[in-house]
A and B are shown apart, each in its own frame.
Chain A
Amino acid sequence: MADPSWGKHVADVLRRNGIRLFATVPDYIVSQALEHLWADPECTVVTACREEEGLGILSGAYLGGRRGALLMQNSGLGNCVNTLGSLNVASQIPVVLVISHRGDLGEFNPAQVPVGQAAERILDALDIRHVMPRSIADLEAQADGLVKLAYTRSLPVAFLLPPELTGGKLG
């Protein structure tokens, strides 16, 4: 049974690492982290029309001195592939990706499965370091280190949030 406080833990991890700017195309799962960011007057959350647009906005903001995180479903990772490669990786622009992992354990929607199953391999193919925390303890153990690596390496990193952590979405 997932601990419903996972969303606050994700929001806290991002905030305590100096991130105050967020872009999103929301889904049911990442919305549980977003609600804490929407409610925080120190945070700016931009709802993009498409995930790669959010990536462009966060990349520009980084060039202007602000750290950013993009919250989305793994279908959004599919929408972001070229921008991740040709902007963030090619120009070494770090960004933190927070991705709800649909299409895996317990998935009810066949349309979610192919990109969900490809998600880790998409990240690997772009040389984007990622973690898949399966509990809050796991998240807390890895999160600060992953965000730090993004800015040390000047490249994107990704949290893939599996249903063991989030409870997933029940069909």
Chain B
Amino acid sequence: MTRATATRLLVERLTREVVVSNLGQATLDLQRLGDRPLNCYTFGSMGQCSSIGLGLALARPDVRVICLDGDGSLLMNLGSLCTIATLRLHNYALVVWDNEVHMTTGGQPTATAFRSSLAAIARGAGIEKVLEPAGEAELQQAYDRVLGEDGPFVVNVKVEKGRAEGKLDRDVIRHKLRFMTALAALPAP
């Protein structure tokens, strides 16, 4: 499965969820396939995508927050998994596009290409709902749970190596203000 396919299957189902995307490939796919005001794009601070989403989930318990992270980035901030487990926020989900490489920098292998499993690390951190969907049908089932059940969730999705198409729109202040305005205006359900 490609990351673009997995992204498209998610954005088709979004309603009032916040989506936080990791710098590089995840943000580019999300901009191209499902740009919307409730997307919180990140462009730097590698590793912080999962933490930014956690802060959003803490600030807005009435809104479901879904982070789209990468294996290379999450490996930079593994402690985040422990904090996710400790806070145990019902409205938080971390989806990891695990392509086993640093794609943006040319495809150098990460630790998940060898012996490390982010799903096992997440379980070891104390997260109960850790999913490893294989194929589109299982991914749809994982999305059903993430969008319908209390979290926190970690969903590790093995995706093909490949660069996202298109070009990033890096107007960071405009994106931030659009996101903050949309979220502030979003009423409690």
Contact = CB atoms under 8 A, between A and B. Distances in A.
A48 to B, nearest CB: 6
A66 interface: yes
Given A60-B54, A64-B56, A49 B173 contact: no
A97 to B, nearest CB: 15
Contact of B79 (A44, A50, A65, A66): A50
A93 interface: yes
B58 interface: yes
Which secondary structure characterizes the binding site on chain B? Answer: helix
Contacts of A65: 59-60, 180, 183-184
Interface in B38-74: 40, 42-60, 63
Chain B interface residue number, banded: 35 or more
Contacts of A53: 48, 51, 77, 79-80, 83
A48 B83 CA distance: 7
Interface string A52-71: 11111111111111101000
Contacts, number: 116
Chain A interface residue number, banded: 20 to 34
A61 B59 CA distance: 5
B83 A57 contact: yes
A149 interface: no
B64 to A, nearest CB: 12
Contacts of B179: 63
A21 interface: yes
B82 A49 contact: yes
Given A59-B52, A63-B52, 7 more contacts: A46-B87, A48-B51, A52-B77, A57-B52, A61-B59, A86-B45, A92-B176
